[in-house]
């Protein structure tokens, strides 16, 4: 189980002939992901890691029956690639690319209105459903099967968290990296809604950071919609100075808004425990699971 | 990326936004020349720095004669202005804007930003011009009006008209205000701005509307399609270490303390700064080296952290995902050789925490290094505690 992707999901790779894309195509195949095709305009007929390349997403979808794509296209062309995937009727598009202009993403979001595609990212590590499939760049060896859903704005913190959980004997259903950009396809509440409806997911770990108010909105949503699945959180950027962009385009405190303190307060107010340091994410999840009486059930590895 | 007010006004003028006539000046003589060129009875001498709150800090003066222009220009040029946006160290004024005085009847606020929640550009305006908008939002939110813009059709005339009436502008000023809003929106999307702010936008004695101040910020990710904007960068306004880091493709923010850190990934880098502070250290910087283990890049990062004697210790916090820890360990050793004077020692203690792919191999490499001062940390928590302790000892 898990959410968004499983071992039967047919996936194409947009920009497959690039060096990074080819490397990760191998990694995704090795994990068991059903990569059925790739797209690079002008490269149809070639193969990458045994996967056939097509000129357009439409051709790839018609030939393979793919329902999902993962994008490794350079930033200046990536917004167009997302919209090509949406136009081809894909159910899921995961965009790894960083540094897409924000106004391009504004157009993408407008273009997606009324269409069925779900976008994950951009500027994200992708998604991984344990022992089934991975779309993106999340390493496959640090996440064990279990019952905790993981959603995060940061790539390395997703890995760090999955690793700490694994060491604590706690497995994960699906890890979703929603990305560090201010305008993106999927936000915390969308990911939480998926976990709420997944019977395998018994608890959620949410990793946020400074900038915007998605964590505050999520806190309210959890209180109103998901009282039965315990949530643990971590927020990075407590020491970030206002007005400075901390690596991610979306990680900036502007006009006094989007501070870590505000987010932690909003989460605590609805009863969500927030790990005090990055080193304590695993321990804090364990405590939360014990308190909710589901630790034994979630202790899967 | 930020630019100066006079540069913003030149761009806005090219989009049809009405701004007061004015010229930049880099010296007192040039300031006086510009005032002569303007030929207006009153002109304004404005400090050009990348920060708001200049007026209160004495960076904006109204001059009624050429002698006054000369006096104010000599007073402001070279002065260090401390405002609520500069930090306590302030910013030195190297440029002035000499501008024609305006006949101000009333001040308003107008801006465009991208709203994360709706994924749309939003126009915001207020009758409380000249004030900090954050303050207005906190104290009198009912005085801020918003229009959300559909990118498929752009800012529509009914929206600018609705805004003009909400602001209570006199009948004669509605059309000019609508034109200004439309032109400002075109500039915002045309140049990939992340912020376009006119504070104040003023109603003049003859019921016209113009931008008395102008602040444009740009989306760094879109600069590739705006070489004209990239050229306007004023490097004297930026932290020299941050500039050097950006040139080396490193994500670095100077935080002023003495416990440095080098991390892969922005989220983990922020969290590492936080954990240093948690154990009582003063973080020197945020630094995301990315997935790279290239020794030259790591050496460059070490040099930037150590420059000027700022850092008394370095915490290297790496989680190997796709990149392997043994490669990172080799990169650190190569970098250490590059920056050490005798190939064997580093000027400050370097505590290294490696976890994830091939962590064991990486630790082995560092354990057997002949380079002094490299200390392996068994855990992230232990590493953060150790580096803070070592820096405190070095100070004692």
What domains are there in chain B, each with its CATH number? 1-19+105-237 (3.30.470.20), 21-101 (3.30.1490.20), 239-395 (3.40.50.261)
* Token reading at B375: 């200390």
Instruction: Name which of A106, A152, A234 is nearest B120 (Cβ-Cβ).
Output: A106
Report the alpha-carbon distance of residue B152 to residue B159 in Å, rounded.
15
**For B251, which residue in chain A has the nearest alpha carbon?**
A247
Residues in contact with A254: Cβ distance below 8 Å, sequence separation at least 6, in sequence order = A211, A242, A243
- State the DSSP string of B119-146: TEEEEEEES-TTS-HHHHHHH-GGGEEE
Is the Cα dihedral A20, A25, A26, A32 positive or negative? positive
Mean pLDDT over B136-153 rounds to 94
Give, for A96, the enclosing helix (H) or strand (E).
none
Instruction: Name which of B220, B278, B321 is nearest A139 (Cβ-Cβ).
Output: B321
Interchain CB distance below 8 Å, A110 and B152: yes
Mean pLDDT over B213-218 rounds to 96
Least confident of B69-78, B137-146, B238-247, B288-297: B288-297
How many interface pairs between A and B have CB atoms less than 8 angstroms apart? 169
Instruction: Classify residue B206 by its DSSP letter.
Output: T
Interchain CB distance below 8 Å, B322 and A137: yes
Q: What is the pLDDT of residues B185-197, one digit of tens each?
A: 999 999 999 999 9
- pLDDT band of B171, cuts 50, 70, 90: very high
Tell me the nearest-neighbour CA distance from B275 into chain A, angstroms: 6
For position B39, what pLDDT does the model report?
92
Interchain CB distance below 8 Å, A243 and B151: no
Per-residue pLDDT of chain A (301 residues; tens, 9 = 90+): 789 999 999 999 999 999 999 999 999 999 999 999 999 999 999 999 999 999 999 999 999 999 999 999 999 999 999 999 999 999 999 999 999 999 999 999 999 999 999 999 999 999 999 999 999 999 999 999 999 999 999 999 999 999 999 999 999 999 999 999 999 999 999 999 999 999 999 999 999 999 999 999 999 999 999 999 999 999 999 999 988 999 999 999 988 889 999 999 999 999 999 999 999 999 999 999 999 999 999 999 9
CB under 8 A, 24+ apart: contacts of B364-369? B365/B326, B365/B329, B365/B330, B365/B333, B366/B329, B366/B332, B366/B333, B369/B333, B369/B336
The CA-atom distances, in angstroms, between A261 and each of A205, A215, A258, B268 are 18, 11, 8, 18
Q: Which residues of chain A make contact with B221, given a CB cutoff of 8 A?
A: 75, 99-102, 249
- pLDDT band of B293, cuts 50, 70, 90: confident
Residue given tokens 């500069």 in the structure block: B86
Interchain CB distance below 8 Å, A248 and B120: no
Instruction: Name which of A101, A209, A255 is nearest B134 (Cβ-Cβ).
Output: A255
Tell me the nearest-neighbour CA distance from B280 into chain A, angstroms: 12
**CA angle (A122 as vertex; A121, A126 as ends), nearest 5:** 50
Does residue A7 sit at the B interface (CB-CB below 8 Å)?
no
Residue given tokens 């210790």 in the structure block: B313
Does residue B235 sit at the A interface (CB-CB below 8 Å)?
no
For position B369, what pLDDT does the model report?
84
Mean pLDDT over B279-304 rounds to 88
Interchain CB distance below 8 Å, A247 and B269: yes
Give percent of chain B above pLDDT 70: 100
The CA-atom distances, in angstroms, between B148 and each of B123, B124, B154, B166 are 6, 9, 10, 15
Tell me the nearest-neighbour CA distance from A193 into chain B, angstroms: 17
Catalytic residue positions of B?
Answer: 109, 197
For position A17, what pLDDT does the model report?
97
For position A47, what pLDDT does the model report?
97
Mean pLDDT over B179-206 rounds to 97
Q: Which range in A251-255, B29-33, B236-240 is most confidently predicted, on average pLDDT?
A: B29-33
What domains are there in chain A, each with its CATH number? 10-120 (3.40.50.720), 142-298 (3.40.50.261)
Query: Following CA atoms A267, A273, A277, A281 in sequence, which dihedral angle do they give, to the nearest 10 degrees?
Result: -120
For position B87, what pLDDT does the model report?
78
- pLDDT: is A52 or B371 the higher one? A52
Instruction: Name which of A241, A245, A257 is nearest B255 (Cβ-Cβ).
Output: A241
Contact B317, A159 (CB under 8 A): no
Q: What is the pLDDT of residues B109-135, one digit of tens each?
A: 999 999 999 999 999 999 999 888 888
- pLDDT band of B292, cuts 50, 70, 90: low
- B360 burial (CB, 10 Å; 0-12 / 13-18 / 19+) is exposed
Interchain CB distance below 8 Å, A255 and B133: yes
Q: Which residues of chain B make contact with A156, given a CB cutoff of 8 A?
A: 263-268, 319, 321
In this predicted structure, the answer to whether residue B291 has a pLDDT above a threshold of 80 is no
């Amino acid at each position: 189980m898990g959410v968004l992707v499983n071992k039967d999901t047919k996936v194409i790779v947009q920009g497959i002939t690039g060096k990074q894309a080819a490397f990760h195509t191998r990694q995704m195949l090795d994990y068991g992901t059903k990569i059925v095709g790739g797209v690079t305009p002008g490269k149809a007929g070639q193969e990458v890691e045994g996967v056939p390349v097509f000129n357009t997403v439409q051709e790839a979808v018609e030939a393979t029956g793919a329902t999902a794509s993962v994008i490794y296209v350079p930033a200046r062309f990536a917004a167009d690639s997302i919209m090509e995937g949406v136009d081809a009727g894909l159910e899921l598009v995961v965009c790894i690319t960083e540094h897409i202009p924000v106004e391009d993403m504004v157009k993408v979001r407008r273009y997606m209105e009324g269409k069925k595609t779900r976008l994950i990212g951009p500027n994200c590590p992708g998604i991984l459903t344990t022992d089934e499939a991975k779309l993106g760049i999340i390493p496959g060896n640090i996440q064990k099967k279990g019952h905790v859903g993981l959603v995060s704005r940061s790539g390395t913190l997703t890995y760090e968290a999955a690793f700490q959980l694994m060491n604590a004997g706690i497995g994960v259903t699906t890890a979703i990296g929603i990305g560090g950009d201010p305008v993106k396809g999927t936000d915390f509440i969308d990911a939480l809604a998926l976990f709420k409806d997944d019977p395998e997911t018994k608890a959620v770990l949410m990793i946020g950071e400074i900038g915007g108010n998605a964590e505050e909105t999520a806190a309210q949503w959890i209180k109103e919609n998901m009282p039965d699945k315990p949530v643990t959180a971590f927020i990075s950027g407590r020491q970030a100075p206002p007005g400075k962009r901390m690596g991610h385009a979306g990680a900036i405190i502007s006009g006094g808004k989007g501070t870590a303190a505000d987010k932690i307060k909003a989460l605590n107010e609805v009863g969500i425990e927030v790990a005090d340091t990055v080193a304590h994410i695993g321990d804090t999840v364990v405590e939360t699971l014990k308190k909710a009486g589901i630790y034994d059930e979630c202790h899967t590895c | 990326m930020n630019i100066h007010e006079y540069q913003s006004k030149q761009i806005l003028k090219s989009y049809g936004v009405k701004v007061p006539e004015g010229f930049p000046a880099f010296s007192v003589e040039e300031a006086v020349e510009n005032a002569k060129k303007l030929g207006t009875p009153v002109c304004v001498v404005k400090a050009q720095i990348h920060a708001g709150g200049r007026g209160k800090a004495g960076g904006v003066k109204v001059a009624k004669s050429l002698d006054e222009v000369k006096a104010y220009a000599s007073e402001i040029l070279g002065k260090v202005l401390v405002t609520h946006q500069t930090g306590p160290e302030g910013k030195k004024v190297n440029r002035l804007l000499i501008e024609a005085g305006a006949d101000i009847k009333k001040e308003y606020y107008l801006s465009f930003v991208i709203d994360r929640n709706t994924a749309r550009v939003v126009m915001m305006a207020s009758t409380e011009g000249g004030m900090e908008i954050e303050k207005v939002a906190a104290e009198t939110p009912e005085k801020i009006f918003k229009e959300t813009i559909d990118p498929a059709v752009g800012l529509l005339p009914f929206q600018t008209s609705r805004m003009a009436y909400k602001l209570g502008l006199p009948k004669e000023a509605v059309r000019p205000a609508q034109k200004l809003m439309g032109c400002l929106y075109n500039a915002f999307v045309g140049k990939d701005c992340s912020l376009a702010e006119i504070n104040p936008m003023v109603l003049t004695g003859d019921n016209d509307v113009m931008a008395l101040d102008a602040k444009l910020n740009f989306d760094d990710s879109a600069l590739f399609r705006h070489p004209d904007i990239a050229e306007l960068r004023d490097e004297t306004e930026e932290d020299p270490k941050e500039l050097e880091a950006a040139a080396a493709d490193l994500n670095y923010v100077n935080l002023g303390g003495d416990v440095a850190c080098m991390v892969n990934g922005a989220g983990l880098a922020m969290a590492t700064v936080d954990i240093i502070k948690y154990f009582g250290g003063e973080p020197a910087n945020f630094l995301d080296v990315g997935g790279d283990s290239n020794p030259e890049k790591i050496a460059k990062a070490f040099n930037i952290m150590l420059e000027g004697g700022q850092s008394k210790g370095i915490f290297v916090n790496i989680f190997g995902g796709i990149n392997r820890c043994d490669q990172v360990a080799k990169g650190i050793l190569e970098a250490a050789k590059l920056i050490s004077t005798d190939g064997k020692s580093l000027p400050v203690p370097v505590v290294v925490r490696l976890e994830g792919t091939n962590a064991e191999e990486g630790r082995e490499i560092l354990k057997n290094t002949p380079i002094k001062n490299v200390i392996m940390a068994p855990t992230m928590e232990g590493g953060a505690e150790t580096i803070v302790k070592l820096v405190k000892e070095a100070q004692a």
